[in-house]
Chains A and B, each alone.
Chain A
Amino acid sequence: MQKFTTFTGLAAPLDRANVDTDQILPKQFLTRVERSGWGQFAFYNWRHRPDGSPDPGFVLNQARYRGASILLARENFGCGSSREHAPWALLDFGFRVVIAPSFAVIFRNNCFQNGLLPIELEPQMQDEWFRRVQAKEGYVIQVNLRDQVLTGIDGFACQFGIDPFRKRCLLEGLDDIGLTLQDEAAIQTHEQTHRQPWQAAVAGVTK
């Protein structure tokens, strides 16, 4: 996984609550079997009109947000389908950070797995960032993960919370699977001590 320490980028405001993963990465693209190249489909149905032309009304199509890498979002961001294609699409589109008052749990897990940092802020604080980003063109935010601080281009700053384990994984770029494989002995012990007699019979008919 890509390490994450500090990051500075242009912020874009997506002012909608309950943005679901179907909107972030519409299902018509889900049939690809690759892990890369998903950015072109991010928010596809919002970025494009039904005839395929760009929809100038959508915030990410506005010139002032071109190249944005920090997404400001609203409540319950990433709800719906568990598809990890949604964070893949956001990352490949150029986002490294999503800031919202709350996230759907599976989506948040998926972000951490891919080095996309989901930051949760109090709703009032999030309102403040929205105001600032919307008021000033070219509003850049610096994200300092080690100190857990967001700093705006105008000097406005706030702290954010993060699970210490997640933080460590991001800072060190740790691979979850690699970590768990170090527990091989514990896994084996569990398998041996928790084998129920009736479960053996289940395994017997699986082939």
Chain B
Amino acid sequence: MPTLLDKIWQSHLVRQSPGQPDLLFADRHLLHEVTSPQAFEGLRVKGRGVRRPDLSYAVVDHVVPTSGRELPWADQVAWTQLQALRANCREHGIMLLDISDPRQGVIHVCMPELGLTLPGNTVFCGDSHTTTHGAFGALAFGIGTSEVEHVLATQTLPQAKPRTLAVRLEGQLPPGVSAKDLILYVIGQLGVAGGTGHVIEYLGSAVRELSMEGRLTLCNMAVECGARGGLVAPDETTFAFLRGRPFAPQGADFEQAMAHWRTLYSDEGARYDRQVSLDISGLQPQVTWGTHPGQVMEIAGRVPTPDSFRDPDAVKAAQRALDYMGLKPGQSLGDAAVDVVFIGSCTNGRLEDLQAAAALLKGRRVAPGVRVLVVPGSGQVKAQAEALGLAEVFMAAGCEWREPGCSMCLGMNPDTLSPGQRSASTSNRNFEDRQGRGGRTHLCSPATAAAAALAGRFVDPRQYM
């Protein structure tokens, strides 16, 4: 009985030979400015071309400023990188969503909303959060720059088949608790290396009930427990999302596609290499206390004492993390003042996320001294949020309403934390220095981030609902 992974793998197998990794065909190759220049350079050196520019799609997102787009940018090197992407796309005939394009945005937000990722596709991209696209039932891998070059040259990727991990999430998410809380909880349970070498298939009633946005959040962070990919079998929610999207099939083609997509699920009795079942009915809002996404706790909980971990490496890691984060064992996060709130990224930069945050901020004011950046994940999200009046809600509450891009998720543009500053962030990584050198990042949901903005510290967002 094949799993969903088996089905997609089988239908993309170009070659299978003993002693070699399988060769998979790439339906979609997504490119951005940071991990592609050296790949194009590699092609040039070897005199190779791009095999399927029609299946390659590029966008500029990581280094773009998110306050005004005046040219040229202050950062000369980032500017050079944009120029390189432009030149490479022009030379090879690849579609580029440039900074002035209304469809531009974070690659894992804008490509799906265009209908570019379809169920059953293989999607490769030089970015670890490519796992996001698995929300459509697509097999989506993050790859390195040499592999980007490989896909450009051959439209294939050699890959050893990952193992499968079924994560079954049963029960109903309590009101005010979101997909972000869910995935933080899952990572806390599995550990940051708990999914290494596996593709996670998310199953269960809680997953079926999630919106497309929620599923994207869930798959986005599959990589944070080391998984190669995340998968959610496509269903009516998926089809309804895709219908009418500009790059999705249209009319009769869509009906035909849908008939095929309906065959994409793990058969009854399919065997997984591992299975985990979690009941999430009583799930509380989650927030990270440490320097990796697995160091996570309930918002009303207490920061753990390092000795509470069994593994000596985990004890050491916890000590180091508390030190870096400026926290004491056993303290409540309600005692830690928040300096900056970041709402955005490919984890939580979609319309639903902004709506969740705006619902709390409406008619209220951000706590004095807290800086709040709201960065829509794409030009489309921005336009929709403005049309729905969300932008006004944010600005009236005292937030900055910015242009789409990766922004403070990784701080490659000027949006960064200063040393010692504490953030409540809807992004996906709380590694040391990620949001700026010495910055202290707490990952949480959009609602929890909005509540932190209002209270100036971490509080249960449900008190504002």
Residue numbers of A with Cβ under 8 A of B are 16-18, 20, 22-23, 26-28, 30-35, 45, 50, 74-76, 79-85, 87, 102, 104-106, 109-110, 113-114, 163-165, 176-177, 179-181, 183, 186-187, 190-191, 194, 196-199, 201-203, 205-207
Contact = CB atoms under 8 A, between A and B. Distances in A.
Interface of B: 11-15, 19-21, 23, 25, 27, 34-35, 37-38, 41-42, 46, 48, 51, 54-55, 57, 62-63, 75, 77-78, 80-81, 84, 95, 118, 126-128, 142-147, 149-150, 153-156, 158, 160, 192-193, 196-197, 226, 228, 246-250, 253-254, 256-257, 260, 292, 313-314, 316-317, 320, 410-412, 419, 429, 431-434, 437-438
A22 B78 contact: no
Residue of A45, A74, A87, A205 with most partner-chain B CB within 10 A: A205
B441 to A, nearest CB: 11
Contact of A76 (B150, B193, B257, B434): B193
B370 to A, nearest CB: 24
Contacts of B48: 177
Given A30-B34, A194-B11, A187 B156 contact: yes
A180 B193 contact: no
Contact of B196 (A105, A194, A202): A105
Contact of B144 (A28, A84, A187, A194): A84
A177 B144 contact: no
A70 to B, nearest CB: 21
Residue of B38, B228, B438 with most partner-chain A CB within 10 A: B38
Residue of B63, B437, B438 with most partner-chain A CB within 10 A: B437
B226 A79 contact: yes
Nearest to A188: B14
B25 A194 contact: yes
Given A177-B153, A196-B260, A35 B144 contact: no
A176 B144 CA distance: 13
A45 B127 CA distance: 22
B316 A203 contact: no
Given A18-B292, A176-B158, A194-B25, A23 B127 contact: no
Contact of B253 (A106, A190, A201): A201
Contacts of A31: 34, 63, 75, 77-78, 80-81, 412
A106 B227 CA distance: 10
Nearest to A107: B144
16 contacts: A31-B77, A31-B412, A75-B193, A81-B410, A84-B145, A102-B193, A105-B196, A105-B228, A109-B144, A165-B19, A181-B153, A183-B23, A183-B156, A196-B260, A198-B254, A202-B247
A109 B257 contact: no
Cβ-closest 5 pairs across A and B: A113-B146, A198-B249, A110-B144, A33-B37, A198-B253
Contacts of B127: 81-82
Nearest to B126: A82
B313 A17 contact: yes
A164 B18 CA distance: 11
A82 B35 contact: yes
Contact of B412 (A28, A75, A105, A109): A28
A91 B202 CA distance: 38
B81 A33 contact: yes
A104 B224 CA distance: 10
Nearest to B48: A177
Given A33-B80, A187-B25, A199-B249, 10 more contacts: A16-B320, A18-B317, A22-B433, A31-B77, A45-B437, A104-B196, A109-B144, A177-B150, A180-B150, A201-B253
Contacts of A180: 23, 150, 153-154, 156, 158
Contacts of A203: 54-55
Given A187-B155, A198-B249, A23 B143 contact: no
A113 B84 CA distance: 23
Contacts of A165: 19-21
B253 A197 contact: yes
Contacts of A82: 35, 126-128, 142-144
Contact of B38 (A26, A35, A45): A35
Contact of A50 (B55, B155, B410, B437): B437
B149 A177 contact: yes
Contacts of A32: 77
A187 to B, nearest CB: 6
B11 A106 contact: no
Contacts of B126: 82, 84
Contacts of B432: 22-23, 45
